[in-house]
Amino acid sequence: MSSSTSLAATITARLKPNQTVGIGTGTTVQQCLPQIAKRIQTESLAVSFVTSSHQTTLACQELGIPLLDPASIVRLDWAFDGADQFDDAARLIKGRGGAMLREKIIAATAEHFVVIVGEEKHSRQLGSACPVPIEVVPIAVHEVTNRVTQLGATECSQRLCPALGRESPYYTEHGNFVIDANFSKIHDDLERDLNAIPGVIENGIFTRWANELLIIRPSGVESLYPLREEQ
C-alpha cells in the first residue's frame, strides 16, 4: 500500500455517521477525496463537509461529496488539512495556496484538528526556506510591509501571478492581497503580532492549533498528538 493510499484510508476510516467534517486545501488533502466519496456512496454514509476554499469545494462537488454552507456551522466534529512546514513543537506555516483565513476559521471551529504533512516538510527552524503568507487589504499593503519588516522580516514581497502575459497582483478569494514574508526566526507571539497590524486580515502561522499530526513517511502514516492550548 502506497503512503497516499494509506493516508486516504486513515482519514476515510475516521468518518462516522452524522458527523460534520472540515476539509482543508491542497494536493495532500485532495488525495483523500475520492476514497471519501466512495465510502459515502457505497455505505450511504450520512456525513456532511465544510471546505476551506473554492478549489476544494469544486473538487468535492465533482465527486458528489455533500457540502454545507460554512456560515451555518457553529462547531465541526473534526477537520483535516495540510501544511507547508512544521517544526518540533507542531507549529505550522500554512497558506501558500492563499486560503489561510478560511483554513484558520475551519481549524478554530473544529473539536479536533488533524494536520497532514509529509516528513520532508519538517524543519528544526520554522520559517526556514518557507515564507509566511499574510493576507492584507489592498490599501494597506505598503504600510503592512513596513510594519512586518519592523517585526523582523528579512524580506517581504507582494505575491504576484501571471495573467494575460504580465505579472498581476495575486488576489485571495476574499479580494485581498498576499504578502510573503521571510523571517530568520519565528517566535510564539509572531502570529498574534502580525494580526495586530492594521490592514492584516490573517497570516499563515498556526502556533498552537494542531491536535494531531499525521506524518507521511515511506513506511506509512505516523500519528502524533501535540498539545493544543486554548486560543
Return d(Cα 117, Cα 149) in angstroms, integer.
Answer: 29
Residue 114: all three cell numbers together: 488533524
Give me the catalytic one of 43, 103, 135, 202: 103
Strand pairing class (166-169; 220-224): unpaired
DSSP string, 81-102: EE-SEE-TT--EE--TTS-HHH
Return d(Cα 29, Cα 186) in angstroms, integer.
Answer: 26
Residues with Cβ within 8 Å of residue 95, at least 6 apart in sequence: 84, 103, 133, 135, 178, 203, 204
Please confirm, yes or no, whether 173 is among the known catalytic residues: no
Could you give the residue numbers annotated as active site?
Answer: 103
